[in-house]
Amino acid sequence: MPCVKTVAACIERRHVVAYPASQHNWTKPAPTGSLGNRHWLPTHAPATLSAMKTRLSLATISDWLGREVGPSDWVTVTQERINQFADATGDHQWIHIDAERAAKESPFGTTIAHGYLTLSLVPLFKDQCMEYVDIKMGVNYGTNRVRFMAPVKVDSRVRARFKLLETEEIKGGVQMVWETTIEIEGHAKPACVAEIVTRVYA
């Protein structure tokens, strides 16, 4: 069964709720968190709201321009996950998989996740944050830019926030550019900031 929260609970837990701007007045609370991210919440909404995911539709997606969706749940980056990614990609550099050597020689003092492993978690984070109510399929179209800002040490927890930067109508659907910020628990600097281009089709 879906988790239903009161408006007050949603605000306290910083959930973003998907109500089109054309139907509600919106306010912008003070910055929260070490990165100063802002969360949009409706000033007038039904008494109970779903706190699970932001529901998006092709008809109203442009209402979300400049607004944030998320954050996702925290995900622990274990050594097992790092090793599996190394096997899948062939990148077995010791800074990722050799804990003993990393403890002695790495400037990070331990193994770290591949940058592209961190980026590869985006589909998981997006699935936790949002869902489309009227699409047949979605595809990754590319990235405009990607920067790995800080190392993700083994057993760190990471999560993501998404801000819609652009929308463009395409044949049969919509192309979107999402500014994606992947945070590390307890750190001010994000692990990764990327502009990710996706397409969804009705």
User: pLDDT tens across 169-189, in order?
Assistant: 999 999 999 999 999 999 999
Buried (b) or exposed (e) across 63-73, using 16+ Cβ within 10 A?
bbeebbbbbbe
Q: How far is CA 70 from the centre of its chain?
A: 6
Residues 15 and 96 in one domain: no
pLDDT of residue 59: 86
Residues spanned by the domain of 102: 87-111
Record the tokens describing residue 154, joined without a space: 């083994």
104 & 121 share domain: no
Instruction: Tell whether 99 and 135 lie within a shared domain.
Output: no
For residue 125, give the nearest of 47, 181, 67, 61 by alpha carbon.
181
Residue 57: its pLDDT value, please?
Answer: 87
The SS3 of residue 177 is: strand
Q: Please indicate, yes or no, if residue 82 is contained in any of the structural domains.
A: no
User: Residues 25, 44: contact at Cβ < 8 Å?
Assistant: yes
Whether the full predicted model's pTM is greater than 0.85, yes or no, is no
User: Comparing 106 with 33, which gets the higher pLDDT?
Assistant: 106
The pLDDT mean for the chain works out to 80
What's the domain count of the chain?
2
Distance CA 60, CA 200 (A): 13
Q: Each residue of 109-139: pLDDT tens digit?
A: 999 999 999 999 999 999 999 988 888 999 9
**Paired tokens of 140:** 């990754």
Cα gap 49→15, rounded to integer Å: 10
Residues 52 and 142 in one domain: yes
Is 149 within 8 Å of 35 (Cβ atoms)? Answer: no
Q: Say yes or no to pLDDT of 198 above 60.
A: yes
